[in-house]
A and B are shown apart, each in its own frame.
Chain A
Amino acid sequence: MTDRTSTETLNRRRFLGAAGLAGAGAALSAIPALAGETAKSEALITDVQDWQRYLGDGVDKHPYGTPSKFEKNVIRRDVPWLTASAESSVNFTPLHDLDGIITPSGLCFERHHGGVAEINPADHRLMINGLVDKPLVFTMDDIKRMPRVNKVYFLECAANTGMEWRGSQLNGCQFTHGMIHNVMYTGVPLKVLLDEAGLKPNAKWLMLEGADSAGMNRSLPIEKALSDVMIAFAMNGEALRPEQGYPLRAVIPGWEGNLWVKWLRRIEAGDQPWQTREETSKYTDLLADGNSRKHTFVMDAKSVVTNPSPQAPLKHKGRNVLSGLAWSGRGTVKRVDVSMDGGRNWQTARIDGPVFDKSVVRFYVDFDWTGQELMIQSRAIDSTGYVQPSKDDLRKVRGVNSIYHNNGIQTWLVRSGGETENVEIG
């Protein structure tokens, strides 16, 4: 290919992109496809490749499969400076590398307060005590003999996007929005276990407690406990991963991740909340006037464009797929709007795939890009009519020190070369 032809190709591509953006879609189909005109034969096609000639691995090679070696960068990542110790810390789901709504189990972000407890399920016990007719102890075998349900829910850490309260800090949706995962849980409705023990009429709160070295404990209002809370032993069709609470965890749909107690060993019924460390010192939201909200359980409607994003820049002019995730702890996602110009104008995105209660949805906008600068935003609207606010709207109510529950609209600046940045706009 000569320099002249490649320049011509580039110019034609630019022209096509511009035409697409101008909405001249009908004209596009009349123009012959570019690929066939000046293409040079590729050795990848004309030469016989190794994988076509030689035998590959047999069925006995991988009893439990792993992703292709070419996907080795699709991994959880952590930010070492965030915490004093890796055992009481967090890592992040690589949202920019994923699609659909189900997070692969091995990529689900982790948040521990005392490392991963390794528990033989034969040694695990669940106790129910307190304001019940009969305090009980269950084995895992007992729990697996109870009527079970399958549900897809998102789990979002209360601190997701928390580092962004004062402004843009981390450059990638993995780091700004990756304290979330969305999987199918199999387990038993908590109500089934509580009925077995028999709640006393004055039982208004439950305390959930983990078997790990943090002894994680949180208070849960009884109304929520009896509605949709699950005690899960499986995720995505197989046993929970150790880092997700194997063999047993609480599933508290729509509510902040900290309540989803892992390695769940005890449930106590009481008549008032316990005001544990994780609902006083932590997971309370300090406002600008020095007062703090507590028991801010629900995760509000939120969304993020995962592609393009800083870790997934635009690589091609012309046709592109904008993709993202939206979710709400208050119900289902009804609509997602996307702006390319920093919130001046919005278009409604296409939601594709299942829309479940308190689960993420996947949205897309198929678009043509000429190489102009974009300020990309997404805005989720849920079934209660809640509209995801801007970060500035949140700051007006809460200030910048509330750490948790930052569901403000994210802006990505796509520069003319396709490089994409986490920015704040004003």
Chain B
Amino acid sequence: MSKSANALTLVLAACLLGGTSAPSAAQQMAGRDVVKPSAKLGLGRAATAEEIAAWDTDVRPDGRGLPVGKGTVKQGDDLFQEKCASCHGEFGQGVGRWPVLAGGAGTLKADRPDKTVGSFWPDLSTVFDYIKRAMPYGNAQSLTNDEVYALTAYILSMNDIVKNEKFELNEKNFTSIKMPNAAAFFEDDRETSEKHFWNKNPCMKDCRPAPKVTGRAMAIDVTPDGKSGPKVE
């Protein structure tokens, strides 16, 4: 308190010496400790339980976030044909250039891997989370929890991960489903597997034999014409 009072006195003294009018409110504030922010800003307000429930729909591999609900393969098939097949195909094979959801098992070492939910995705939770938040494309967040369970069950069936069309997926049996490629992911290891890219003395002179051109983008000829870009008003 005495510190603030001293500061204020200094401000007043400065004003008097300058022979100007009385200090402005800003000048008075500048001389006080009150402008220093507190540890907590005191901004924002408490989120309500209803608000959190509306936005927090994410689901983790351990099942955390799964809502109560259920759906069978058969129900999922019907829904899929109605809401999904126009892009993803009746059997998840993909229409045109839209994503393929099923098949591709055993192709990950192939020259052209086929990365689908069945062949590639490590966690079933991702299927639920993603459909619930982002599908159908252009009409996101329009599906009920039961519908998402049913669609997830149908996608499992298309990928031969469940075989019975009477199979019902629900929040209780969800985490018992194991995805075929679950074990094939590992955390970024570049700092060890690519350690040789750290090099104190990269070569500067006569580093390699005379190079020859081995590939040309012009030969492939798939680049948009630079002059044919979108029109600008």
A85 touching B137 by the CB < 8 A rule? yes
A292 surroundings in chain B (CB, below 8 A): 120, 184-186
A81 surroundings in chain B (CB, below 8 A): 222
Q: Cα distance A20–B126 when bound, in Å?
A: 61
Given A136-B44, A280-B121, A345-B206, A80–B109 Cβ distance below 8 Å?
Answer: no
A77 touching B226 by the CB < 8 A rule? yes
A80 touching B187 by the CB < 8 A rule? no
B197 touching A393 by the CB < 8 A rule? yes
Q: Of B97, B133, B211, which is in contact with the most chain A CB atoms at under 10 Å from its CB?
A: B211
A147 touching B37 by the CB < 8 A rule? yes
Q: Cα distance A215–B213 when bound, in Å?
A: 44
The verdict on A291 contacting chain B, using a C-beta distance below 8 Å, is yes
The verdict on A281 contacting chain B, using a C-beta distance below 8 Å, is yes
The verdict on B35 contacting chain A, using a C-beta distance below 8 Å, is no
Chain B residue nearest to A192 in the complex (CB)? B41
The verdict on B190 contacting chain A, using a C-beta distance below 8 Å, is yes
Per-residue CB proximity of A392-426 to B under 8 Å, as 1/0? 01000100010000000001010000000111111
Q: Cα distance A75–B230 when bound, in Å?
A: 8
Interface residues of B in 197-233 (CB under 8 A from A): 197-200, 202-218, 220, 222-224, 226-227, 229-230, 232
B123 surroundings in chain A (CB, below 8 A): 275, 280
The verdict on B46 contacting chain A, using a C-beta distance below 8 Å, is yes
Given A84-B96, A345-B207, A127–B222 Cβ distance below 8 Å?
Answer: no
Q: Cα distance A226–B133 when bound, in Å?
A: 27
**A213, chain B: closest CB distance, angstroms:** 5
Q: Cα distance A286–B216 when bound, in Å?
A: 25
Per-residue CB proximity of B36-63 to A under 8 Å, as 1/0? 0100110111110001100110111110
The verdict on A53 contacting chain B, using a C-beta distance below 8 Å, is no
A-B pair number, CB within 8 angstroms: 257
Q: Cα distance A379–B199 when bound, in Å?
A: 12
A290 touching B109 by the CB < 8 A rule? yes
Q: Cα distance A286–B52 when bound, in Å?
A: 36
Q: Which of A39-47, A364-372, A380-388 sits within the interface? A: A380-388
Per-residue CB proximity of A253-295 to B under 8 Å, as 1/0? 0000000000001101010101111001100101011111111
Interface residues of A (CB under 8 A from B): 72-73, 75-81, 83-85, 87-88, 113-114, 127-130, 134-138, 142-143, 145-147, 167-172, 174-175, 192, 195-197, 207, 209, 213-215, 217, 265-266, 268, 270, 272, 274-277, 280-281, 284, 286, 288-298, 300, 310-311, 337, 341-347, 375, 379, 381, 384-389, 393, 397, 401, 411, 413, 421-426
Q: List 15 A-B contacts (CB under 8 A).
A: A77-B230, A78-B224, A79-B224, A127-B47, A215-B134, A270-B60, A277-B130, A293-B186, A293-B189, A300-B190, A344-B209, A346-B203, A379-B202, A423-B214, A425-B212
13 new A-B pairs (CB below 8 Å) besides A129-B56, A192-B41?
A77-B229, A78-B230, A87-B138, A127-B47, A175-B224, A217-B133, A265-B55, A275-B122, A275-B123, A286-B108, A292-B120, A337-B204, A385-B199
Closest 3 CB pairs of A and B: A215-B133, A342-B211, A424-B215
